[in-house]
């Protein structure tokens, strides 16, 4: 293909650059044969643009199949004005984001509970009661030592023996309950901690922290209503320290 | 591959049903794809889809469409894409179809007799074009009416390359030239 043929082809496909258009004009001015060929093709093009050789065939297609296109839902959607399409698309994006955050962005409740268990420091009062006070049995001392060392599963095994031996000792019961929480035995923790939430007398100071742990145990067990009630009571307590209010609130938020 | 062969067989043996399927499923997909990408109206795209269907049918009749490597819808998308590109070029702001220097001396007013002769000649050209068989008809329509490049036509009509299209077009133009000029 020579240069003039290339330029003529570009002319009919409307892909001439400004420079090429100038070049074509110049070449046609010089080359009469090329000018005649160009004029001939222009007449063909003119005829084809004004008449429509495919008119009959296209009319048949339109008559037979156009209603089918219009009937399709997707084509109907395309008839919406652009603004409505943008609004619809935005709505879908917002709804999808909300759905994703609600269902995938939220941690499972059990995980929230586990992350918000703060074991309180154990109060071992047997060393402060003065001479003559009998030391506790070895398994009790060992249970507390394991608790302090963060070995909650092993501590829970020992507390499981200690608590029945001293059923009125709500201290043992509280730490046993915390161990059960840490090993995710939430229903057992509920039963163990519940009496501590009603503590009075010499154990009254355990009542408030017990509410926090009891609330966590209830949440871990899936009893959301009771968990919320216990944790709100804990946060709302005025007469005692509530160092774990933030953790309690985290769990309430996840309920 | 077997599914594609079945599609082609359906088009050969049960054209109406096959076309209905293509219009129902493929045309909306084509419109959806092109409307966002090229900012053309639905009306323009349906018209281009009709053109793609016609080219496909011509290719089937001529034997250039004898096997498929993908679905018929994909095949139509290939043709449709080239038609869209040609349409966009044809309607772009900068165009030389109307360039008076390239259109010859149309700005001078021909006499009534010359105009009459010209009109009669044009009618004859039209008659030859209308009577022209395939593949010339389709090839000239795609070149001069649709404004497709030789490469685009080769892809749409199943020719080996752009040079084959150019040679075929030259023979088609010679046919008209021999009859009239």
For B104-136, how does the pLDDT look when each residue is reduced to its tens digit (9 = 90+)? 544 445 566 666 666 666 677 777 777 788 889
> Quick one: pLDDT band at residue A213, thresholds 50, 70, 90?
very high
B68 — phi, psi (to 5°)? -115, 140
For A12-70, how does the pLDDT look when each residue is reduced to its tens digit (9 = 90+)? 988 888 888 889 888 888 888 888 888 889 888 888 877 777 877 888 877 777 665 65
For A158-195, how does the pLDDT look when each residue is reduced to its tens digit (9 = 90+)? 898 888 888 888 889 999 999 999 999 999 999 999 99
Closest CA in chain B for residue A24: B102
Interface of B with A in 13-52 (CB under 8 A): 16, 19-20, 23-25, 27-29, 31-32, 35, 42, 46-47, 50-51
Closest CA in chain B for residue A12: B147
* E strand segments, chain A: none
Query: Do residue A57 and residue B32 have CB atoms under 8 angstroms apart?
Result: no
For tokens 């062969």, the residue is B5
Three-state SS string over A14-41 comes to: CCCCHHHHHHHHHHHHHCHHHHHHHHHH
Q: Does pLDDT of B93 surpass 70?
A: no
The pLDDT of residue B24: 87
Closest CA in chain B for residue A59: B50
> Residue B124: its chain A contacts at CB < 8 A?
none
- Nearest neighbour of B144 by CB, restricted to A1, A16, A45: A45
Query: Do residue A79 and residue B42 have CB atoms under 8 angstroms apart?
Result: yes
Instruction: Report whether B132 contacts B176 (CB < 8 A).
Output: yes
The pLDDT of residue B108: 47
Cα A17 to chain centroid distance, Å, stands at: 53
Q: Report ipTM (2 d.p.).
A: 0.80
By C-alpha distance, which of B166, B112, B135, B150 is closest to B58? B135
């Amino acid at each position: 293909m020579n240069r003039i043929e290339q330029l003529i082809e570009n002319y009919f496909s409307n892909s001439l650059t400004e420079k090429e258009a100038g070049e074509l004009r110049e070449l046609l001015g010089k080359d009469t044969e090329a000018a005649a060929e160009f004029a001939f093709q222009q007449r063909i093009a003119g005829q084809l643009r004004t008449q429509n050789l495919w008119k009959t065939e296209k009319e048949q297609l339109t008559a037979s199949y156009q209603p089918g296109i219009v009937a399709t839902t997707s084509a109907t959607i395309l008839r919406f004005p652009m603004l409505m399409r943008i609004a619809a698309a935005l709505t879908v994006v917002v709804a999808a984001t909300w759905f994703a955050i609600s269902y995938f962005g939220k941690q499972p409740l059990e995980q929230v509970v586990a992350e918000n268990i703060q074991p309180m420091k154990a109060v071992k009062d047997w060393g402060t009661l003065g001479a003559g006070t009998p030391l506790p049995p070895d398994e009790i001392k060992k249970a507390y030592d394991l608790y302090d060392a963060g070995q909650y599963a092993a501590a829970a095994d020992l507390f499981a023996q200690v608590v029945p031996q001293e059923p009125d000792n709500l201290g043992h019961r509280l730490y046993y309950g915390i161990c059960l929480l840490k090993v995710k035995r939430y229903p057992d923790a509920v039963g163990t901690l519940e009496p501590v939430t009603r503590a009075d007398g010499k154990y009254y100071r355990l009542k408030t922290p017990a509410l926090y742990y009891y609330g966590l145990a209830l949440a871990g067990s899936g009893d959301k209503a009771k968990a919320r009630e216990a944790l709100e009571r804990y946060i709302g307590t005025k007469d005692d320290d509530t160092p774990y209010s933030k953790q309690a609130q985290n769990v309430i938020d996840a309920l | 591959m077997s599914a594609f062969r079945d599609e082609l067989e359906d088009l050969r043996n049960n054209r109406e049903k096959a076309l209905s399927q293509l219009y129902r499923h493929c045309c909306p997909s084509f419109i959806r794809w092109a409307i966002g990408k090229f900012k053309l109206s639905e009306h323009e795209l349906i018209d281009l889809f009709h053109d793609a269907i016609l080219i496909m049918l011509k290719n089937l009749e001529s034997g250039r469409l004898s096997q498929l490597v993908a679905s018929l819808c994909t095949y139509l998308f290939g043709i449709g894409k080239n038609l869209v590109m040609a349409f966009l070029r044809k309607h772009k702001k900068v165009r030389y179809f109307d360039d008076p220097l390239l259109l010859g001396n149309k700005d001078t007013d021909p006499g009534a007799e010359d105009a009459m002769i010209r009109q009669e000649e044009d009618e004859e050209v039209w008659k030859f074009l209308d009577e022209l068989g395939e593949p010339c008809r389709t090839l000239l329509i795609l070149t001069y009416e649709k404004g497709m490049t030789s490469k685009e036509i080769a892809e749409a009509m199943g020719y080996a390359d752009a040079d084959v299209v150019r040679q075929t077009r030259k023979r088609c133009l010679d046919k008209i030239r021999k009859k009239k000029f």
